[in-house]
Structure 1
Amino acid sequence: AVGAKKAINTLEQGRNKLYDPCVVDAFLTCYKQDETLGGLYTPVNLQ
């Protein structure tokens, strides 16, 4: 499985190239506000 840090990095690097920037921005905004995305996932430390 890909780690959260690598997944976030992949999304950021693919923004405008592979992934819709609005979707990437929306996901990152939600993720930064609540890493569990409403309690669906276990939080991880991206540091």
Structure 2
Amino acid sequence: MIRKVYSNNSAGTLIISVPAKFTKEMGLTKEDNVNIELVGKALHVSKVILQ
């Protein structure tokens, strides 16, 4: 469950807070990039590697 959503600017950029359990499960660190896709009313988050 995403616990907090913040508006970052007037352009509609959002910041989300994801529980540490999920970031550990996905192997995410603060240096990683993710893709967030809206499917219906659900957000799907996947780790991506930029080359």
Q: TM-score if structure 1 supplies the norm length?
A: 0.24
Q: Which has the higher strand share?
A: 2
The TM-score, its normalising length taken from structure 2, stands at 0.23
Q: Which fold has the larger relative contact order, with Cα–Cα distance below 8 Å and residues 6 or more apart in sequence?
A: 1
Structure whose CA Rg is larger: 2
Structure number with higher helix proportion: 1
